[in-house]
Amino acid sequence: MSDVLQSLSEAMANLAERGGASVVRVEARSRFPASGVIYRADGVIVTSNHGVERDDELRIGLPGGDSVAAELAGRDPGTDLAVLRVAGSALSAASWVDASELRVGHLILALGRPGQSIQATLGVVSALGKAWRTGGGGEVDRYLQTDVVMYPGFSGGPLVAADGRIAGVNSSALVRGVSVTIPAGTVQRVVETLLVHGHMPRGYLGVGLQPVRLDPGLQESLGQPTGLMLLSVEADGPAAQGGLLQGDVLVTLDGLAVRQIDDLQALLAGERVGKAVTVRFARAGALHETTVTVGQK
């Protein structure tokens, strides 16, 4: 038994050492530094947005001990991710693993570098779920919860799978009292968008909404119980330009049902910004269609 434990102990220590080669210290707030992950070898760093409290005078503590200046490339409060750049090259970039390869009960390590050296905490994948929307409106590809203890400064650091690949970026700001990880797929999508735009484009219709129950006839024909009533329509906004009026009830956008406000928010993701979409709506008990060009919020 002692040999088994010694072998496991050595394996976990090696895992922390390998993973730590891609973990940096992020000095971007007045209190305890946060951690970050080397996303690309040419100096792209991903970290937690709440760990970057200022836009300038940023520094990164590299695994080798050097401290270098960094600049903010973009941030997305919705997914609690931020991207920084540092000068230089030949950094040790992380290798990512998709959350679909994880199972509840898998051993994982959470790594952080709030000081000079790497720190680690051991845990298991405690819950996996479907895609979800954060309180800030961010789209996360999959729910990934662990039982690791998020020590001060661990936010923005990686969750490392048993094979050494990184499953995502840890955050203590998205769900109170729960250790959640932004999975690799979401991290990669958000980072690539931030590198291009500096922010996450989000669609905008210029309306105030409230879910309402549809008339029985519409429920039967549409196969959905509710739609979204327009409580207000911004003058010259995208909805107004598409001919929508206060009191209209949206039932589909781009052919997809909108039953609750979350449904519409999910459909107004970045890829629809600037595009003309078909909107189906109820007015005075009858169904109509119009075309709306989605604005950018």
Q: How many residues in the chain? A: 297
At residue 34's C-alpha, the angle toward residues 40 and 146, to 5°, is 85
User: Is residue 254 flagged as an active site residue?
Assistant: no
The values of phi and psi at residue 21, to 5°, are: -65, -15
Question: Which of 245, 236, 243, 237 has the alpha carbon at shortest distance from 297?
Answer: 237
For tokens 């484009």, the residue is 201
80 is an active site residue: yes
Which candidate in 35, 48, 50, 171 is catalytic?
50
Buried b (16+ CB within 10 A) or exposed e, 266-276: bbbebebbeee
Annotated catalytic residue: which of 76, 80, 141, 263? 80
Amino acid at 205: L
The DSSP bridge partners found for residue 133 are: 139
Residue 230 tokens read as: 């327009």
Please identify which of the residues 22, 155, 172, 179 carries the catalytic annotation.
Answer: 155
Catalytic residue IDs: 50, 80, 155
